[in-house]
Amino acid sequence: MSLFHNLVYGFTVALSLQNLWYCFVGCFIGTLIGVLPGIGPVATIAMLLPLTFNLPPTPSLIMLAGIFYGAMYGGSTTSILVNLPGEAASVVTCLDGYQMGKQGRAGPALAIAAIGSFFAGSVGTLLIALFGPPLAELAFQFGAAEYFSMMVLGLMSAVVLASGSVIKAIAMIIVGLLGGLVGTDVNSGVARYSFNIAELSDGIGFVGVAMGMFGFGEIVSSLERAHAAGKVEVSEVKSLMPSMDDLKRSFWPIVRGTALGAGIGILPGAAAVIASFASYTLEKKLSKTPERFGKGAIEGVAGPESANNAAAQCSFIPMLTLGIPTGAVMALMVGAMTIQGIAPGPQVMTQKPDLFWGMIASMWIGNAMLVVLNLPLVGMWVQLLKIPYRLLYPGITLFICVGAYSLSNSRFDVFVTAFFGLFGYFAQRWGCEGAPLILGFVLGPLMEENLRRALLISRGDPSVFIMRPISASMLAVAAFLLVLIVVPQIRRKRAEVIVDEG
């Protein structure tokens, strides 16, 4: 009954006019940036962080969450109609979705993608409601040593699951950790790595780093890709109604994709991307006619679309209950909570129940909104693809600059954003992901705080991390993951998966 009462309370919060409006705004923007190739939810959330300063915590986080899972819906539209994944997690949908479009079956493909996404999103939200409170209760038993070890495990998992070179992923995490330590030491009051620049005494602003890495950096990279892509052919949408055979073929892939995505969603890394590729591989392995895949098999749309939406929803579980981000988007969400003066972690459920349960209830409402936004308005989304990039991106760049300046009415914040924009662009050119850097930037100060606290309590004895069972277990798993990626066979298999993703 406690869960039922909490959900009822959550719906009373989510159904207020203000929260409903911001839920709709988030879902609409999420669908929009999911449809437009090259922008993505990370860049959009980073750009919109300054707008949350003047909003209450609950509507602002409901809006940012809507952008994230809304992009999962919108990304399937362009994948099916024009063979351009609007979002990274929708890359797999291109394989069979576009082929269905060429065969005149774009409508059923879009409908199955929406049905699978809605089912997976609803199940993922239910899992947050079911497992969130027990995990938060468990987190109250954690001390400083456990939190430090859990963050080490999270960063190590992010390295294993990151695409590209392991060495580059570790390097980006180290850069993020070092960047998070810039500023005045809270214990000694000494300025660290500030180089006598007064503006750096308070540290590097998280919003500037995020907007630079995922705003400016993505824009320049996307302009290159758009110039290389040229014009695309849009598939015609005749009827959205799937046949009974389509529904039968899609039922179990949707169920399996939801289960797979929910399990992968709680892991650090690009969970939605990994879940969609894993689901496609699973469906192809289980199919009695695997030769149909890549030629318009509806299972190749149903499974991955369900998996990436389930993963997107379940990635909120560690963020809301433990305060640990599992990816770049969740790191931005943690940053948004910090901006609002909320300490991420298990105390959110007890201190801000309206935020916790209101967000969960809004996800159900948002998933229902997204079905309406994606299917009946598909014609409008297709028309947006005709907007020239030379008109779209200057406006986004101006928006980023205004947002950076509005942080503290300082030109220095604009320079910081521009610097990290250049860094993000060259990092992409060199094959380095931005997500590990953001994770390191967010977790760095928290790791330092918990490391110092644990050593202070143990009077400087580092064995505290291995003497406490939970802490020792997490460090052991982190060490196992480190050894695992060194094994040649595992390393080769990981490289094969990354090549397939590309």
Summarize pLDDT for 235-279 with one digit per residue, the tens: 566 667 888 888 898 999 999 999 988 888 777 655 677 788 788
Who contacts 4 (Cβ-Cβ below 8 Å, separation ≥6)?
Answer: none
Determine the pLDDT at residue 192.
86
| Model confidence band, residue 24 (pLDDT cutoffs 50, 70, 90) | very high
For residue 15, what pLDDT is reported? 93
Tell me: pLDDT of 331 over 90: no
Query: What confidence tier does 496 reach under pLDDT thresholds 50, 70, 90?
Result: low
pLDDT tier at 150, thresholds 50, 70, 90:
confident
Q: Which of 215-224, 249-258, 367-376, 400-409 has the lowest mean pLDDT?
A: 215-224
Which DSSP string corresponds to 358-395? HHHHHHHHHHHHHHHHHTTTHHHHHHHTTS-HHHHHHH
Checking DSSP bridges between strand 183-184 and strand 191-192, what pairing results, if any?
antiparallel
Does the pLDDT of residue 424 top 80, yes or no? yes
The percent of residues above 90 in pLDDT, for the chain, comes to 15
For residues 350 and 304, which has the higher predicted lDDT (pLDDT)?
304
Q: What digits encode the pLDDT tens for the residues 290-311? A: 888 888 889 989 999 999 888 8
Letter for the amino acid at 479?
Answer: A
In this structure, the chain runs to a length of 502
pLDDT at 268: 63
Q: Which of 362, 276, 365, 288 is nearest to 75 (CA)?
A: 276
What sign does the dihedral 129-134-135-140 (CA atoms) show?
Answer: positive
pLDDT of amino acid 500: 46
Of 3-12, 223-232, 294-303, 458-467, where does mean pLDDT reach its minimum?
223-232
Most confidently predicted of 105-109, 169-173, 254-258: 254-258
Residue 207 has pLDDT above 80, yes or no: no
Mean pLDDT of 444-449: 86
